[in-house]
Chain A
Amino acid sequence: MKLGRRQEGRWAWRLTGFVTLCVYIFMFAPIVATVILSFNASMFGGFPMTGFSLQWYGKLMANEQVLTAFRTSLWIALVTSAVTTAIGVVTAFALVRFEFPGKQALSTLVILPALVPETILGVGLLVLIKAIDQPRTMLLLVLGHILLAVPYVVLITQARMVGIRRVYEEAALSLGASRFSSFREITLPLLIPAVVGGALLAFTISFDNTSASLFWRPAGVETMPTQILSMLKISISPEINALGTVMILVTVGIPLVGGLILQSLTRLKRRDQPKEETL
């Protein structure tokens, strides 16, 4: 009997492992297929592989529309990332360190853009713009992206800030530092991992945004995702697979490299001040 039960537990564990493996395959199979197909020599964007070729990458590099969309998205994402990080860090600082009326309401309100479907946010802003008779501009698109990214930056920074003990800041203040310089000299350096993480996430959220951008973009402007969407409306060509692969390299490569740099930085720091962690 006892043996039977143990057997049962082992089978349950094996099943869990098997489903886990399947889920991971499910997650990555389509992406791997896309990357492989981008090197396919065939004229059609599908299997079977007829040979190895880089011609679709060449075609991509010569596609003026794609390049323009790429540059547009890159700029929007960079500006969004910088502004969102600044706003988000300051907001998280206020939410964690100060008491003020309406704090609870604000902390709920600030995560709403992550929960409300983009379609609704998209239509809402568009209706507002129409009601006050303003055109859709780049500025609107960027501000919209900032709205979408701000919850994530605030949440990430908040989580980190809660772990930073207040005594460091209080020590600086009692030694005569102003509020601002205590923030700049003490809080901000300790927050760096959250700041970098938030900035990277804001970048990808903006670079990747599709639904809301379809509503907000000025007439004639394509961002990278909307460009892909309009290319897909025609047909799935090998060029799109190549484009997808390039995008994967950019959006996965940047955070990975950023994370690695960050890790080695903190490791270096730890070597300099071995006692810091035990405080």
Chain B
Amino acid sequence: MLVAPVLVLLIFFLVLPIAVMAAYTFFTFVTAGVETSALTTANWHEFLTDSYYSGFLLKTLRVGAITATLCGVLGYFPAYFIWATTFKHKWLLLLLLIVPFWISFTIRTFSWINILGEQGVINVALLKLGIINEPLPMLYNEGAVILGMLHFLLPYMILNVYVSLESIDRTLIAAARSMGCTSAQAFREVTLPLSLPGLAAGLLLCFVLAAGSYVTPQLLGSGRDALFGNLIYDTIMGELNWPMGATLSIVLFVVLGFFAAIYTRYMGMSQIVKGLGG
């Protein structure tokens, strides 16, 4: 069978781990790194009653939603521009969007320190110009985290919207114009609705990737800006509390899966597939 290798890989590295992780949420935590298979609901009880965890979850969802929305707003313009421009070297604009995917994500994230940091471009320039006397604290806060995520998610959004715009039959817009629509009306009535599937796919992708991020809050945020991914990492690698770590992972998996399910219920999977694969 041709699909045997991929099937084995997916079962042993995707399905089985998530199943075992689900079982682990009922294991008993004894001490760091030690747990027994005595079944208990203590982990779930702790998660559901301790507002520390629900606070983390809400903050993560909020940051994810803000990031996705900003991506949608800021990403739509370039996508539309690339689609509508008469510029001869359109491929160059598209290539420039793909290049960031090739640059290490860690490097792209820490490079923001060179812009926002105390010795970053902005602070040094403002100090030189005498506008400020002390460097502005722009790093290690939630804004910096969102900015960093925006930076790595925007290409996903732009490409998703662009793919969607590309599939629009341009004669429809010409038809709307010839029937007396202004260009704004034609955009509002024809182009925008027809590009919504791409926008929705981009929003979902950005939301899920932002809410699941680990590196960006780690590098650009302070301890207070940690997100759910950081909480999971610290619970497992720091506290060695595996059952709780598994519980938190399953929670994130279910919550994000819930949003993805709502999305696929209305939009189907095809748009996401197009956006990811080109």
Interface residues, chain A, with chain B CB atoms under 8 Å away = 5, 8-9, 12-13, 15-17, 19-20, 23-24, 26-31, 33-34, 37, 44-48, 87-88, 90-91, 93-95, 98, 100, 106, 108-121, 123-128, 130-131, 143-144, 146-147, 150-152, 154-156, 158-159, 204, 207-208, 210-211, 214-215, 224-225, 228-229, 232, 236, 240-241, 244, 247-248, 251-252, 255
Contact = CB atoms under 8 A, between A and B. Distances in A.
A20 B96 CA distance: 12
Interface of B: 1-3, 5-7, 9-10, 13-18, 20-21, 24, 74-75, 77-78, 80-82, 84, 96-97, 99-108, 110-115, 117-121, 124, 128, 150-151, 154-155, 158, 182-184, 205, 208-209, 211-215, 218-219, 229, 232-233, 236-237, 242, 245-246, 249, 252-253, 256, 260, 269, 272-273, 276-278
B182 A5 contact: yes
Nearest to A24: B96
A228 B107 contact: yes
A179 to B, nearest CB: 10
B276 A44 contact: no
Contacts of B77: 15-16, 19-20, 23
A123 B232 contact: yes
Contacts of A225: 104-106
**Dominant secondary structure at the B interface:** helix
Contacts of A224: 104
Nearest to A207: B104
Contact of A115 (B218, B252, B260): B260
8 contacts: A15-B77, A23-B74, A45-B119, A127-B20, A150-B9, A215-B237, A232-B110, A236-B110
Contacts of B117: 46, 236
A86 B28 CA distance: 42
Contacts of A5: 182, 184
Contacts of A23: 74-75, 77-78, 154, 158
A36 B82 CA distance: 29
Contacts of B214: 118-119, 210-211, 214
Given A127-B242, A143-B9, A143-B13, A34 B269 contact: no
B103 A251 contact: yes
A70 to B, nearest CB: 12
Contact of A91 (B2, B15, B242): B2
Q: Which of A34, A112, A113 has the most CB of B within 10 A?
A: A34
B176 to A, nearest CB: 13
Contacts of B74: 19, 23
Q: Which of B97, B183, B205, B256 has its CB near the most chain A CB atoms (within 10 A)?
A: B183
A252 B103 contact: yes
A26 B17 contact: no
A9 B211 CA distance: 37
Contacts of B5: 87, 90-91
Nearest to B210: A117
A229 to B, nearest CB: 6
Nearest to A97: B2
Given A27-B154, A46-B117, A120 B111 contact: no
Contacts of B115: 29-30, 33
Contacts of A156: 277-278
A51 B106 CA distance: 27
